[in-house]
Chain A
Amino acid sequence: MNNDTVSTDVLIIGGGPAGLATAIHLADTLKQKGQGQRILLIEKGSSIGSHIISGAVIKPEVFKELLPEVDISEIPFNAKVIKDNTVLLSENGHLALPFHIPYMNNIGNYTASLGQICKYLAVKAQEKGVEIYTGFAVDEILYKDGKVTGAKTKDTGLDHHGHQLENFQAGTSIEAKITVFAEGTRGSLAKMLIKKFNLSKDRNEQIYSLGCKELWSVPQGNIEAGQIYHTMGYPLNNDEFGGGFIYGLNDNKVAVGLVVGLDYKDPSFDVHDAMQVWKTTSLVSRILKGGKLLEYGAKTLPEGGYYAVPKLYVDHALIVGDSAGLVTMPALKGTHLAIKSGMLAAQTAANALINNDCSEKSLQQYEVLMKASFIHNEMHVVRNTRQGFAKGLIIGGLHFGTQLISGGAGFFGRLRTHADHETTSKVSELKKKPFRERFKGKLEFDKVLTFDKATDIYHSGVYHDEQQVVHLHIHDQEKFNAINIEEYGAPEQFFCSSEVYELHTNKDGKKELRIHAENCMHCKTCDIKTPGERITWVVPNGGNGPDFQNM
């Protein structure tokens, strides 16, 4: 009874756009070839879409490829983009740029709730015979003779120390000919896989941004559906890479958010709080005036680009979507790449299944197909964009300019990056004003326009089971206290998008980091940004985490 095993031909871990596209295209391809292999898709969120968050402005063309039988109007996009503005913000005003940053023009694209799109794709996938199971966390890759043979769902019914309780339920082993890792940004299994097989050898370190987003309902007239803004500048310094977005949606809703590169230096920088400051600018506050916060969420996104994409195949396994790092800078778009990568993985998997050869050699086709696809074209031309900006906006702008002229190469062939956990300064070494001083007087949130994290988290529907092992592991508590707390001032308490980490100082001045795992938004920032990589994010019980409705 405790050795539950199920078998499938293909196991897809993750029900986002990449995983669902893999499932749909695989089912279609196999059917065309008269085959009917079993496809199993597992999602950790309580339902499809509940852990999906994106801006989002989506390029629609790829949906025609994925679902050729479907009229595009059937896909639950939101408003079509009709006005696309890029704005340079300063503390007291803003300046509309008379031009678009190249690769950022969005006219003709669609705004959307990516969660809603995924719900739709899941229905399509199930119609095509894909089995989808939600609310199950997969925390272990199964190997035999060093090769991937599947994965196992998490054991549940454990206490904080990992001891079995009376309601212990053993995880289920899933044996699969091919396992597709589609966990999204900083996938916890993909991370293990990449490490085990050294798939990032000779590649750049993957780097990430953290995006915090709020969905609002605003009075009629505040913004048009399909009117979108991207903002640069305030509240970010020129060595902080990122910007804001404002997307006008149907029914007087608007999505606003701030995305900031996690290679910033200030250990007290707080993306959530920076977003609140950003909302007080005249441009944003005018649009939100009289409105009401509906939802909050946060997620990281990989933006290392072309040179940070690891090798994406090994024997019996493929990596797709954000887990593969498929996002283009500076457009910050990954959905269409995720879907395309899923389709290419599906094509590869279908051939492998039919030829009964799921070896690495057979799955290499995935890379070949990728090189010939628009994924390569789009990512290659901007291959050095983000790295250039790591040196600051001015130099970055210069790099970007030369790259435009030289077709992406810039002055140097390939720019290197540092992992985000290496870029934070120690408190004593920070040369500029720390975050709290920089925005002094602006961090008292009025709970009308601006919100503290606790209030925002309330609007994410987040829930975690009380009885389980805390899913955030601190390695080497002593070093953590000595270095992360004492030298860096516990940046975890600031960078966390959902107040999981609290630095508590008691009356005697003793400091300790407390973990409120129940707030976790699954954004993975701590796994990425903690100095010394001293925190690992592992997947909590299935069905735990945020419960996004329209994010």
Chain B
Amino acid sequence: MALTIITLIKQVPVPSEMRMGEDGLMDRTKAKSIINIDCTFGLEAGLQLKKQNPDAKLIVCSMGPGSFETALRTAISMGYDEAYLLSDRKLGGSDTYATGLAISTMLKHLGFTKDSKEPYIILAGRQTSDGDTAHVPSQVAEAIGIPQATFVESVKADGSGNVIAKRIIEGGYQMMKLPMPCVISLTPTGIPPRKPSLSGAIKARNLKITTFGIDDIGLGTEKIGISGSPTIVAKVVNMVSERPPITMSEGHNEASLVDSLIANLKKGGNVMEKKEAIAKKDSERPDFPEKDFRNGARGIITWAEITNGNVSRPSLELLTPARRLANQLGNDTKVMTLIIGKNVQPLARILIEHGSDEVILVDDEKLEEYLVLPFSSIFEQVIKVRKPEIALFAATTSGRELAPRIGMKTDSGVTADCTGLEIGEYINKKEKVIYTHILESRRPTYGESKLATILGFVCPQVSTARAGTFEVPERVEGKQGIVSTFNPVLKDQDFVVEILKTVRGGGGLQNLFEADIIISGGRGTTNDNLGLIKALAEALKSQGVNAEWACSRPVVDEGVAEYARQVGQTGKTIRPKVYVAVGISGAIQHVAGMKEAEKVIAIDHNPKANIFHNADFGICGEYQDILPELIERVKAGFTFGIEPKKTF
């Protein structure tokens, strides 16, 4: 029983070179292509598994145009054995739902089904840089009907048919045991991909890649391509930078550089040039008949995630857009919140006081820990009964795997990681009808440079909302609401995945949201284990300033800091008054987490670092020279313009 390792990869344009066509879809013709970064971590995870299981066969699969062969050949040159490509014009414009469906159909065609006798593992990247949804791995797992673990950092086979995965969660990690077959999606924090070998490249040059069309795998056109996909990209607009150009410090040594920074801070730096608002030329609303596509679905349902026994902050934030959407829909639209767990009854009141009209409780001791299989099944059962028109999830590591699995079950697709949710209309010029009461899910895309509006035409319209984007609604003590109980059917096969251990870091979690100054260290500051970063934060605290320290992802990867301190797309979105980025290159994912800061000061030795494009003030220099100088200044009373709170 030889093990088969199947790795799913996607070829993407180099993130910095991405362009989009007029239609809002990716124009792949202009940019240079690479294997999506997260996918390369999947490839490496496969090669690591092969180290433990020398007899395992390594297969790499992709879906896309013929040019994706390049990526498949690269995988072969790294050490893979076989390559398959699903390539068909009819797949063009597929959304994540359709993509998950198509890929799972190809895998089933290759003999990898729920009931396969031979063990196999499907590996994938967490998400792609040109889509950023993280949906496809979950949807492939759901479509094949096998367990999954997403946001996984490392993976091992335990020798008796199980996979041990380390899954990253907010504030920590979980060790999970999954039976084979299963799907694992890898974060780009594990072992970086190896380089191709020359002998591998020679093999890749001569290898035949098997290419399938949709007819070859027996996939119909009803649910794929641009017409079959349940969601569409309706509109894409440029996002305008909200930060004026940087003011760089000038000087010949650390003392003069810091002098210059302090002087610049006093002067206040550059201001944004006011751009004249361009009057919207919304075309006339045509005189088409209106269509209510909801088929009687009514109401908004949200999921309340529990961490450390409390409703998580992002789940409370979710009640802000939920209430707003309910008001826009009018007609006494209700906000329902589903809470699943053990002894969760006392949490219902908190949700109601934050704005839920009704809390649906599912209470079972087997459900104490979040598990995607039973939770998605319960959600599906609730949706069948309650028929909500909208389902909202916080885009946490759990929400981002739960939502797509549900979207697959309900055939409705999902929109990921939204920063704006509105009710609107969709004018379908082809059908000559206007869809009313439709959810417009807005999400940044293409490296945070564009804002796309996604629409779904199957209810419930499922979206996940980026944590930190919405404020937690004000709590109204004593507000009344309905608390009901739902008794789902729970099947044993939903509990085949075992959580071996859950580790959540302590402090830092809330403090980061409330700090006035955050000193954040990147890969360039790990030589002294962030010693200088922490020392600067401590010095500020001693001055009575509400300061904290944080870090970028590579620092967490290196094990220097706990995940709870990570700022960025997969970490926290924070909005302090001053954010000091030290030795941080400024990857888009990091910038996503700190761009709401009022003032950003960047310190890095590399003048080309992207962080300087996302900061107000900058010093180009080595952190080990600059920080000691800054610490001395802080000790002498410099507090970055933040008023100290003298509490002692």
Contacts and interface: CB of A to CB of B under 8 A. Distances in A.
Interface of A: 4-6, 42, 131, 133, 135-136, 153, 156-157, 165-172, 174, 454, 457-458, 465-467, 504-507, 514, 516, 518, 541-543
6 contacts: A4-B198, A131-B205, A133-B201, A153-B198, A167-B44, A543-B195
A506 B625 contact: yes
Contacts of B191: 165-167
Contacts of A458: 608
Interface in B38-52: 44, 47-48
Contacts of B195: 156-157, 167, 169, 465, 541-543
A42 B622 contact: no
B608 A136 contact: no
A8 B255 CA distance: 60
B202 A133 contact: yes
A171 B194 CA distance: 12
B192 A170 contact: no
B197 interface: yes
A325 to B, nearest CB: 28
Contacts of A172: 197-199
B482 to A, nearest CB: 53
Contacts of B508: none
A5 B205 CA distance: 16
B220 interface: no
Contacts of B625: 504, 506-507
Contact of B253 (A4, A466, A507): A507
Given A131-B205, A166-B191, A458-B608, A171 B253 contact: no
Interface of B: 44, 47-48, 78, 191-199, 201-202, 205, 253-255, 523, 605-608, 622, 625
Contact of B201 (A5, A136, A167, A514): A136
B196 A457 contact: no
Interface centre among B192, B197, B625 (most CB of A within 10 A): B197
Contact of A507 (B192, B255, B622): B255
Nearest to A152: B198
Nearest to B194: A167
The 10 closest A-B pairs by CB, nearest first: A172-B198, A167-B194, A156-B195, A4-B199, A454-B607, A169-B194, A172-B199, A153-B198, A166-B191, A136-B198
Given A136-B201, A157-B194, A169-B197, 16 more contacts: A4-B197, A6-B198, A131-B202, A131-B205, A135-B196, A153-B197, A156-B194, A167-B194, A171-B197, A172-B197, A466-B523, A506-B253, A506-B254, A516-B605, A518-B606, A542-B195
Nearest to A502: B605
A136 B625 CA distance: 37
Given A168-B194, A169-B194, A467-B192, A505 B253 contact: yes
A133 B254 contact: no
A6 B202 contact: yes
A170 B195 CA distance: 10
A516 B608 CA distance: 12
A42 B198 CA distance: 9
Contacts of A6: 198-199, 202
A542 B196 CA distance: 9
A458 B201 CA distance: 30
B394 to A, nearest CB: 33
Contacts, number: 71
Nearest to A547: B32
A174 B606 CA distance: 38
A170 B200 CA distance: 11
B198 A167 contact: no
A506 B202 CA distance: 50
Contacts of B253: 505-507
A167 B253 CA distance: 39
A504 B605 CA distance: 12
Given A166-B48, A167-B191, A167-B193, A133 B198 contact: yes
Interface centre among B194, B199, B254 (most CB of A within 10 A): B199
A504 B626 CA distance: 13
B621 to A, nearest CB: 9
Contacts of A42: 198
Contacts of A504: 622, 625
Interface centre among B194, B195, B523, B607 (most CB of A within 10 A): B195
Contacts of A167: 44, 47, 191-195
Nearest to A465: B195
Contacts of A157: 194-195
B45 to A, nearest CB: 11
A86 B198 CA distance: 47
Contacts of A135: 196
Contacts of B622: 504, 514
Contacts of A465: 195
A175 to B, nearest CB: 12
A43 to B, nearest CB: 11
Contacts of B194: 156-157, 167-169
Contacts of B255: 507
A135 B34 CA distance: 14
Nearest to A453: B607
Contacts of A153: 197-198
A172 B607 CA distance: 37
B608 A454 contact: yes
Nearest to B54: A1
Contacts of B202: 6, 131, 133
A507 B254 contact: yes
A6 B47 CA distance: 22
B385 to A, nearest CB: 49
Nearest to A154: B195
Nearest to B32: A547
Contacts of A457: 608
B378 to A, nearest CB: 39
A181 to B, nearest CB: 17
Contacts of B607: 454
A174 B198 contact: yes
A467 B193 CA distance: 11
A454 to B, nearest CB: 4
A42 B196 CA distance: 13
Contacts of B198: 4, 6, 42, 133, 136, 153, 171-172, 174
A506 B626 CA distance: 10
A135 B196 CA distance: 9
A518 B198 CA distance: 23
Contacts of A136: 196, 198, 201
Nearest to B629: A507
Contacts of A131: 202, 205
Nearest to A133: B201
A167 B254 CA distance: 38
B205 to A, nearest CB: 7
A8 to B, nearest CB: 10
Nearest to B192: A167
A433 to B, nearest CB: 21
A174 B198 CA distance: 9
B156 to A, nearest CB: 12
A100 to B, nearest CB: 41
A172 B523 CA distance: 31
A1 to B, nearest CB: 9
B51 to A, nearest CB: 9
A466 B523 CA distance: 11
Contacts of B44: 167
Nearest to B79: A169
A454 B608 CA distance: 7
Interface centre among A165, A167, A170, A514 (most CB of B within 10 A): A167
A506 B197 CA distance: 43
B89 to A, nearest CB: 28
A131 B202 CA distance: 9
Contacts of B201: 133, 136
A40 to B, nearest CB: 8
A466 B554 CA distance: 12
A507 B199 CA distance: 51
Nearest to A462: B608
Contacts of A169: 78, 194-197
